[in-house]
């Protein structure tokens, strides 16, 4: 926001053309034009709010059910959990939900290897 204010102030003080102001602040001329257009149309040159995104498939009651299923059967695969939930989602949705729950993998990565090294 600070850069936006300085660029607009420099342009408003008529210290140079749009090209010169853009070069002085190391921004593109098209960005400066968009900034001035936004100020003209909206009255503010503040950035637009975040557009949002996808809602998680597993939240609220669904997330609690998933947590209970994992506690009942901790060795269930992601596909089994997805099939049991009946939610139209991907396996990665289940994985992300389990990460939000703080769920851990069944097997430890620090367990000793099954095979010994070649001699």
Q: How far is Cα 63 from Cα 100, in angstroms, rounded to an integer?
A: 9
| pLDDT, tens digit (0-9, with 9 covering 90-100), for 58-102 | 999 999 999 999 999 888 899 999 999 999 999 999 999 999 998
pTM of the model: 0.51
Residues sharing a CB contact under 8 Å with residue 70, sequence separation 6 or more, in sequence order: 76, 81, 98, 101, 103
- 27-49 residue pLDDT tens: 999 999 999 999 999 899 898 88
Q: Which segments of the chain are extended strands (E)?
A: none
DSSP state letter for 57 = S
């Amino acid at each position: 926001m600070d850069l936006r204010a300085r660029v607009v102030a420099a342009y408003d003080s008529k210290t140079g053309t749009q090209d010169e102001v853009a070069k002085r602040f190391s921004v593109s001329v098209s960005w400066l034009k968009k900034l001035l257009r936004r100020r003209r149309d909206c009255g503010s040159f503040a950035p637009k709010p975040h557009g949002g995104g996808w809602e998680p498939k597993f939240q609220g009651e669904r997330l609690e059910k998933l947590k209970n299923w994992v506690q009942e059967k901790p060795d269930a695969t992601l596909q089994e959990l997805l099939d049991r939930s009946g939610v139209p989602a991907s396996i990665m949705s289940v994985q992300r939900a389990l990460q939000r729950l703080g769920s851990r993998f069944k097997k430890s990565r620090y367990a000793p290897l099954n095979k010994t090294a070649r001699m």
